[in-house]
A and B are shown apart, each in its own frame.
Chain A
Amino acid sequence: MGKRVAISGNHSIAEGVRLAKVDVVAAYPITPQTPMVEKVADFINQGRLDAKYIAVESEHSALTAVVGASVMGTRVFTASAGAGLALMHEIVGVASGNRLPIVMGIANRSLPSPWSLQADHSDSMAERDLGWIQLYAASCQEALDYTLLAYRIAEEVRLPVMVCIDGFFLTHTTEAVDLPDQADVDQFLPAFERGDIYLDPDDPMTINQLNSEATFTELKYRHNEALNSVVDLFPHVAKEFEERFGRKHSLCTAVGCEGADVVVVTLGSSSGTARKVAGQMRADGQKIGTLQVSCFRPFPKQEVIDHLKHAKAVAVVDRSWALGTDGPLAQEVKSAFYSAGLNVPVYNFVGGLGGRDLSEATVKRVIGKALELKEQEEQALYPIWIDVKEEAK
């Protein structure tokens, strides 16, 4: 049996990296990711993780170096946040385009400007279409478990994974976490095996070279097929995980959605808050449901449709700026609904930006506003900024 410890979200991901027996780590510090990579460096220094740590001079080089180490056939880890992830942008597509099973911890932080040290999803959302798997954890336990799931899935489909945790709300919050035994993790996550591409003088090949239109589309098509296959793979891997570790994980988690007047859809740490508020309202006789989306890429369209199709209205909360259009989560939900021919109103709320708490009061306002719009049969073409101060209007 494992043991129960009190650790932060950053430490939870670091524990996942240790248990995954990663070989090479390259990282550059940035708030609020710093304690995550410090902890990994500490594990290596203590001899609890037999890995090499490359203290690179930038995030661009961090992701580059793990791409290099990954094509050599080693299990790798990097981590970043906010502006650091933005600096990696060019290499984000290289990692996924070469089908490398890299895992990257993201301590979600708002992109400048204005400068902010705190959470929203604008950083990881800016990378959402570059062919990585994206998992958003709502607790420290999920941060650890998703890291282990990430390596397992990454190495099965040969794609990189971002494990995202909200800056400060999760990175720096201590929670009780069940730490699995190494022996169990070794059973769940077999030793690293190199894929189809590698640099080996005994079997030379040229990797990542220029392609023409004659092959480009097909390579991207296969990449997309591999990414979408995760929707089917995830439940199988999660089932195995549950059998071994006793914890259940899903692409998305629905509570009280069936026939709900409003379902609140969330990503990340606000999911717990939404569940608490909805639970209280249900106890008071109101029909309020919640849906936490854990896997944002690939987007589990069918699962989301199935959970939401019997709701009377849906309130999607985007913790991302949505300048000029809907927030990314609302875009996904609306697109899935339209494809399925559903005529359920979807209202998009933007909130919790730059570290503002997505509080119980805010969630209640979201629900109240959604009920009101539904009642008045009103459309909201653009997102409603639910927690903006009056003085800005």
Chain B
Amino acid sequence: MADLVSKGLTTCEGCGMELIARSILDVLGQNTIMLTPPSCSAILTGFGSETGWKVPAFQSNLENIAAYCSGISVALEHQNKTDINVVALAGDGGTVDIGLQALSGAVERGHKFIYVCYDNEAYMNTGIQRSGSTPVGAWTTTTPGGKKEPKKNIVEMLLAQGIPYVATASVGYIDDFKKKVAKAREIDGPAYIHTFSPCPPGWRAKPRDTIKIAKLAVDTNLFPLFEAIDGEVRVTRKVRKVASIKEYLELQGRFRNIRDEEVESLATDAENYYNKLLESEAK
């Protein structure tokens, strides 16, 4: 298959987001319009006369990528061009914080588009500041003593809104991610995939550990993999043997000063949430 993202991009070594971008176009192919907001994914949209995309692309603002998707999607509908995929590739900050209103509005209106959030758990492009998606205990430049509040769960918010397709994914299990992108394409409405995406410089982690960390996030139940079609939850990767949260945390310098009770709260929340997902699956 033709490579629709250029080689030699200036993302960092071990960047999860880049793998997500390549995987999206591996699945969707050429008939796709990509949008990126200010964030690390804007690196792909490029600078000056250079671009990383071999498909049409648009650089959005930080808070309105879903509103651009709305206008593009409706225009395509008006032109009877129904075979073109409209894809937003946005960071966690541009999604769960400043972009939440536009996303919620676009989902409520039911436009056909695919929204992939790569969750690197902070504002990385501006130099590692906390976002609503930063987990408890993580160091960022604006949480120098570690974040006190738990991570915002955007997927549950969208589920509550009745979105036709929502899924979580991780760059640690890229085939699972690709399957979800393929499903999202078939949905006649909004589809959202929240994708765990390690960021070595932002997490103070080794580039070679990106995949390992991304697998551990799933295997510790900190980031369970599931999807919901019309609200029907299905856990797409069952965790038989829960991996060690300690090992996960120790691979990342951002958790160097995490307190014991914070580790405990992470573990309890993870277990409870995973069980809740299994229960809703059983229903």
| Given A69-B74, A71-B58, A210 contacting B42 (CB threshold 8 A) | yes
Binds B, one of A56-64, A135-143, A376-384: A56-64
A211 to B101, CA, bound (A): 28
A57→B101 contact, CB < 8 A: yes
Any B CB within 8 A of the CB of A361: no
Do the beta carbons of B78 and A51 come within 8 Å of each other?
A: yes
Q: Are B61 and A24 in contact (CB under 8 A)?
A: no
27 contacts between A and B (CB under 8 A): A52-B75, A52-B78, A56-B105, A56-B109, A60-B67, A64-B71, A66-B71, A67-B68, A68-B75, A71-B58, A72-B72, A72-B79, A73-B75, A74-B75, A91-B61, A198-B56, A199-B72, A201-B31, A201-B84, A204-B55, A204-B57, A206-B51, A207-B59, A208-B59, A209-B45, A212-B47, A215-B49
> Could you tell me if A206 and B72 are in contact, using CB atoms closer than 8 angstroms?
no
* CB nearest neighbor in B for A51: B78
| B21 beta carbon closer than 8 Å to chain A | no
Contact B78 A208 (CB under 8 A): no
How many Å lie between the Cα of A71 and that of B45 in the bound state? 16
Interface secondary structure of A, over-half rule: mixed
CB A61 to nearest CB in B, in angstroms, measures 4
Asked if A204 and B75 sit within 8 Å, CB to CB, the answer is no
How many chain B residues sit at the interface, stated as a range, is 35 or more
Query: Is there a chain B Cβ closer than 8 Å to A205's Cβ?
Result: yes
Q: Using Cβ atoms and an 8 Å threshold, which residues of chain A touch B74?
A: 24, 26, 52, 54, 65, 69
**A326 contacts B by Cβ under 8 Å:** no
Tell me whether B105 and A61 are in contact (CB under 8 A): yes
Cβ of A90 and Cβ of B61 under 8 Å apart?
Answer: yes
Whether A23 is near chain B, meaning CB under 8 Å from some CB there, is yes
Residue positions of B touching A, CB distance < 8 A = 30-33, 42, 45-49, 51, 53-61, 63-64, 67-72, 74-79, 84, 101-102, 104-106, 108-109
Are the CB atoms of B78 and A58 closer together than 8 Å?
no
Name the distance in Å between B84's Cβ and chain A's nearest Cβ.
6
Are the CB atoms of A201 and B105 closer together than 8 Å?
A: no
Contacts of A196 in B (CB 8 A): none
Closest chain A residue, CB of each to CB of B62: A90
Q: What are the residues of chain A within 8 A of B76 when measuring CB–CB?
A: 72
In the complex, A214 has a CB within 8 A of chain B: yes
Contact A23 B105 (CB under 8 A): no
Known interface pairs A208-B59, A210-B42, A210-B59; A57-B102 also in contact (CB < 8 Å): yes
Known: A56-B109, A60-B63. 15 other contacts (CB 8 A): A24-B71, A26-B74, A64-B70, A64-B102, A65-B68, A70-B71, A71-B58, A72-B75, A91-B61, A201-B32, A205-B56, A206-B58, A209-B47, A209-B59, A212-B47
